[in-house]
């Protein structure tokens, strides 16, 4: 199995795991999918080792994109579990209301263009 197929397979597992966590957070499932999460973390660790050995820039980019996506989901899941454990949130239909799991809006930055010095000799 080549690397692109592995990454594609891991991406589909990531999507399924996200659905499982969402069902847990809204109260549909009674147990968080921690076992599946641990298995996926081990597979991603193996992929990370393969990324370091890869010589193709396009494959490294493909793997890096997936790894960043995994990190985003991991932060979302771990934050949700921690908030439930610490009592800041409770599971249920209102779990995602008011949460900022989505990307925050980045304010525009004013970048000044370098001035043309016009260093022409006359």
Is residue 116 scored above 70 in pLDDT?
A: no
Q: pLDDT band at residue 19, thresholds of 50, 70 and 90?
A: very high
pLDDT digits (tens, 9 = 90+) for 34-73: 999 999 999 999 988 887 787 788 888 989 999 999 999 9
- Compute the Cα dihedral for 47, 51, 53, 57 and give only its sign: positive
| Residue 9: inside a domain | yes
Domain count for the chain: 1
| Residue 81: inside a domain | yes
| Residue 90: inside a domain | no
How many Cβ atoms from other residues are within 10 Å of residue 104's Cβ?
6
**Residue scoring higher pLDDT (53 or 119):** 53
| Residue 97: inside a domain | no
Do residues 43 and 14 touch, judged by C-beta distance below 8 A?
Answer: no
The mean of the pLDDT values for the chain is 82
| Residue 26: inside a domain | yes
Output the pLDDT for position 97.
Answer: 75
> Cα–chain-centroid distance for residue 45?
14
Helix axes of 57-85 and 3-25: crossing angle, nearest 10 degrees: 20
| Termini Cα distance of the chain | 67
Output the pLDDT for position 45.
Answer: 92
Residue-range definition of the domain harbouring residue 24: 3-85
| Residue 109: inside a domain | no
């Amino acid at each position: 199995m080549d690397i692109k197929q592995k990454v594609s397979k891991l991406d589909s597992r990531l999507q399924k795991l996200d659905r499982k966590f969402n069902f847990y957070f809204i109260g549909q499932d009674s147990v968080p999918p921690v076992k599946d999460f641990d298995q996926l973390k081990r597979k991603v660790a193996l992929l990370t080792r393969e990324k370091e050995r890869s010589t193709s820039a396009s494959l490294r980019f493909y793997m890096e994109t997936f790894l960043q996506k995994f990190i985003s989901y991991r932060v979302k899941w771990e934050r949700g579990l921690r908030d439930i454990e610490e009592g800041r949130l409770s599971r249920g239909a209102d779990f995602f209301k008011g949460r900022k799991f989505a990307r925050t809006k980045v304010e525009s930055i004013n970048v000044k263009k370098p001035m043309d010095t016009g260093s022409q000799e006359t």
